[in-house]
Amino acid sequence: MLFNLKISIFAYTFIQLAIMKRVILSIFAIFAAVTAYAQTAVYTFYFDEVWVDGRGEKNAKPGKGKITIYDNLDVVFEGSSSHFGNFRTDFKIQSASSAYDVMLYLFSGPDNDNCESLSFVAKASHVYYNDNRNPNNKICYGLVSSDRTSNESKMESLMSAFKNHTGIFSSFRSQADIELPLKIEGRTSNYSVRAKASGEETAYAVRSKTGKMVNETAFKDYEVSSDSYWADVSFRTEAAFLLKTEPNTTGRSRTATITVKAKNNDIATTMTVTQPAMVAKINRVWVEHNKRKGLIKGMKIHVEFETFNVRGITGYCNAYFSFANGNKLFDYNGNFRATDGQVCCPGYFTSGYDNTIYNNFELFMPYAELHINGRADCYFIVEVQVAGQSVASEKVSFNVY
């Protein structure tokens, strides 16, 4: 009996200790939670007038109020109104614009002539809908101080911290920071493009990091520059810039760096432009119709072109034929035929010099080899192919009757 009593006392004590342990742990948990959410008031602005706009109380001045800004960027706006009693609204500064508007509001006070024209604090966070049946029945609260000097030093300190990103704003990112760096064709890094050896004009889109056009952002404008004479930014708009590259006749590949950045900001996005050496260039193409080669009637095609740094290498100068709608003309007897079956008039050359000029390279295309019965509108394009590269001429149109 005594033994059982001792066991019961022991069990009771054990249970009590377990309960006490759980209580202690709960207290620590509550303390930890409170500590985790603890915040310190850094700036408190006191006001001796509370403006109320709405429900017939426009421009009334009852009670007192204050705005408190905490170290975690929480803001508490509170005050009292003789007609509506005490009020309080909490919100958090989440962007540069909201922080700026908070300070603008504190500095100048709201415009009570129009509820909708109140600054961010009043308009976005302190518009109350007291009548659920009529959402347009708004009450706007604003705080005004008759003694501006009482808040002046705190205001200067707040403005300085915001401007220099110190104190409670030490980890703060402005809207401009969020928009940067600018994107070129949707990219901000490791962006490389390959320009044609013969030169070209290409437009590249510029957007902010969040996808806005630059004129819609905090910085409004941007600069674009090139570090090479042969890659020139010839035109720029709010949404894109036009890059013009010159033909590369240097005999070697070359690169240029294009830099895009917001004005008055050092954060830049770069684009690397690589241009291979040009091996050929077509200067001019012209055609003579109804010419004969022996008994065969056809067209004589003349090509003026140049080659660069391909001495001793055999190349091709070919004319490829199509209908005016873009459909290829196809060969049916294997005489004037490209590898894909398109009608082609071929020519061959071997450059005898490092830089060679062909003033009048001739091709003869028999009309019968076009395989056209009746009338047709057509065109041809001349391509010069050498050393693994090719350059093409503009379309040359002609009619078949």
The CATH number of whichever domain residue 248 belongs to comes to: 2.60.40.10
Boundary (domain end) residue, out of 139, 169, 199: 169
Q: Which residue, 226, 274, 229, 272, is CA-closest to 254?
A: 274
User: Does residue 26 sit in the same domain as residue 94?
Assistant: no
Q: Is residue 177 part of a domain?
A: no
User: Does residue 251 sit in the same domain as residue 312?
Assistant: no
Please list the residues that pair with 323 across neighbouring strands. 378
SS3 content of the chain, % helix, strand, coil (to 5): 20, 45, 35
Give the tokens for residue 400.
Answer: 């078949």
Alpha carbons 206 and 237: distance in angstroms, whole number:
9
User: Does residue 53 sit in the same domain as residue 148?
Assistant: yes
Cα atoms found within 13 Å of the Cα of residue 222, Cβ hemisphere only: 34
Q: Is residue 174 part of a domain?
A: no
3-state secondary structure of 26: helix
User: Does residue 250 sit in the same domain as residue 199?
Assistant: yes
Task: Decide: residue 289, CB within 10 A, 0-12 exposed, 13-18 middle, 19+ buried.
Answer: exposed
CB atoms within 10 A of CB 285: 20
Q: Is residue 312 part of a domain?
A: yes
Q: Which residues of 95-109 are buried (b: 16+ CB within 10 A; e: fewer)?
A: ebebbbbbbebbeeb
User: Does residue 101 sit in the same domain as residue 125?
Assistant: yes
User: Does residue 194 sit in the same domain as residue 301?
Assistant: no
Q: Is residue 32 part of a domain?
A: yes
User: Does residue 233 sit in the same domain as residue 257?
Assistant: yes
Alpha carbons 284 and 286: distance in angstroms, whole number:
7
Domain count, the chain: 4
Q: What pLDDT is stored for residue 257 in this prediction? A: 97
Q: Is residue 178 part of a domain?
A: no
Alpha carbons 231 and 196: distance in angstroms, whole number:
12
Q: What pLDDT is stored for residue 269 in this prediction? A: 93
Alpha carbons 145 and 50: distance in angstroms, whole number:
9
Q: Which residues of 369-381 are buried (b: 16+ CB within 10 A; e: fewer)?
A: bbebeeeeebbbe
Boundary (domain end) residue, out of 251, 275, 299: 275
Q: Is residue 301 part of a domain?
A: yes
Task: Decide: residue 92, CB within 10 A, 0-12 exposed, 13-18 middle, 19+ buried.
Answer: exposed
Question: Nearest 5°: phi and psi at 335?
Answer: -85, -45
CATH number, domain at 326? 2.60.40
Q: Is residue 378 part of a domain?
A: yes
User: Does residue 75 sit in the same domain as residue 156?
Assistant: yes
Alpha carbons 306 and 278: distance in angstroms, whole number:
10
* pTM for the structure as a whole: 0.50
Strand locations in 63-133 (E) = 65-70, 74-81, 85-92, 127-129
Question: Nearest 5°: phi and psi at 256?
Answer: -135, 150
Boundary (domain end) residue, out of 137, 169, 201: 169
> Each residue's pLDDT tens digit in the chain (401 positions)?
443 444 444 444 444 544 454 544 444 444 444 444 578 998 888 877 665 554 444 455 556 778 888 988 888 878 776 666 777 777 777 665 556 555 555 544 444 444 443 332 332 233 333 333 344 444 455 566 666 666 777 777 877 787 777 888 777 766 777 788 899 999 988 889 999 888 899 999 999 988 888 888 878 899 999 999 999 998 999 899 999 999 898 888 999 999 999 988 888 999 999 999 989 999 999 999 999 999 999 999 999 999 998 899 999 999 999 999 999 999 999 999 999 999 999 999 999 998 899 999 999 999 999 999 889 999 999 999 998 888 899 999 999 98
Q: Which helix (H) or strand (E) holds 235?
A: strand 231-236
User: Does residue 237 sit in the same domain as residue 163?
Assistant: no
Is residue 182 within 8 A of residue 219, CB to CB? The reply is: no
Alpha carbons 307 and 32: distance in angstroms, whole number:
79
User: Does residue 60 sit in the same domain as residue 165?
Assistant: yes
User: Does residue 45 sit in the same domain as residue 129?
Assistant: yes
3-state secondary structure of 215: helix
Residue range(s) defining the domain that contains residue 74: 41-169
Is residue 397 within 8 A of residue 376, CB to CB? The reply is: no
Give the tokens for residue 384.
Answer: 């010069």
Give the tokens for residue 292.
Answer: 């004969």
User: Does residue 95 sit in the same domain as residue 132?
Assistant: yes
Characterize the bridge pairing of strands 296-308 and 355-366: antiparallel
Q: Is residue 79 part of a domain?
A: yes
